[in-house]
Amino acid sequence: MKALSRLQSAIDQSSFIGITALIALVPVAFPHLTLAAETAQPEAQSALVFEIKDPSVLNSENKNSITMDQVVQTDPLVAKVKAYLEDHGSPLAEYAAQIVQQPQWQRALGVSYVESNMGIHCYNNNCSGIGVKPGHPSWRKYATKLDWFIDLNNLLETPLYKEKYNTFQKMKGVYVQPGSQSWVYGAQKVYNELMQITEEANAERQQLAQKYTNPISIAMVGTPELAKLDQ
């Protein structure tokens, strides 16, 4: 993944309460976190201006730079997903930025809800029963819940679950055996909620893109207060 590692800033303390960082935007292969679509503007004009209201987000070693991780954490989708997970008491909330990078993240969280209450009840950090059950030769153990989540996404990306058993209803009796309609209902409910969150976040990104042009100026009001499967 190509990503910006730091933002070069231009400081004007007499005009702003905080710090303004002017960066040259390079192509970023980060579709889930893109704040604005690419435009056919001249290269010299393809810049983003960030007005940072909270100077504490700046890298302590270089006051004129900000890490990509700090930028990612301000993305509407990351903030909304983290808040959603926190509302459910999920320990997965700390991984929100990494979770939304996975292609099957909404489905995976739907499965995690019916399997482990979104990572609350897990064994060996396996929160979706990958490998039948603990003690089975196929049982998978993970160093972290994020490792499990990525593995579940990889499973959902296989042709079996991406093309054949690509709905929760179809997965009943395959991923989860024997399966039940309550399993299907719970997973689908969370999936639908997450899809709604995704739409809302994308709408906010569109608004940002339309509001700021040549260069695009995005107000970052501090770090927000994080404010279709195998059984």
- Please report whether residue 162 resides in a domain: yes
Q: Decide if pLDDT at 193 tops 50.
A: yes
Give CA 210 to chain center in angstroms.
23
Q: Each residue of 55-91: pLDDT tens digit?
A: 444 444 554 455 656 666 678 999 999 999 999 999 9
Residue 148: CATH number of its domain: 1.10.530
The residues with which 24 forms a beta bridge, in sequence order, are 47
What does the pLDDT look like over 171-192, one tens digit per residue?
A: 999 998 888 999 999 999 999 9
CB 48 within 8 A of CB 17: no
Within a domain: residue 209? no
Q: Do strands 47-52 and 19-24 pair parallel, antiparallel, or not at all (unpaired)?
A: antiparallel
Q: Does residue 138 fall inside a structural domain?
A: yes
Q: Residue 43 above 80 pLDDT?
A: no
Beta strands in 152-226 (DSSP E): 216-220
Domain-embedded: residue 46: no
Summary mean pLDDT of the chain: 73
Domain that holds residue 193: 77-199
Q: Which residue has the higher pLDDT, 65 or 114?
A: 114
Average pLDDT of the residues in 184-206: 96
Report d(CA 27, CA 183) in Å as an integer: 41
Determine, yes or no, domain membership for 219. Answer: no
- Quick one: which of 94, 96, 60, 103 has its CA closest to 75? 96
Is 107 inside a domain boundary? yes
pLDDT at 72: 66
Is residue 112 one of the residues assigned to a domain? yes
Which H or E run contains 201? helix 181-211
Q: Would you state the pLDDT for residue 210?
A: 80
Q: Which amino acid is at 33?
A: L
Query: Is a pLDDT exceeding 80 seen at residue 168?
Result: yes
Looking at per-residue pLDDT, the higher value among 49 and 131 belongs to 131
Cβ atoms 92, 112 nearer than 8 A: yes
Q: pTM here?
A: 0.64
Answer yes or no: are the C-beta atoms of 49 and 218 closer than 8 Å. yes
- What the block records as the tokens of 204 is 């906010």
Counted domains in the chain:
1
Does 90 fall in a domain?
Answer: yes
Give percent of the chain above pLDDT 70: 60
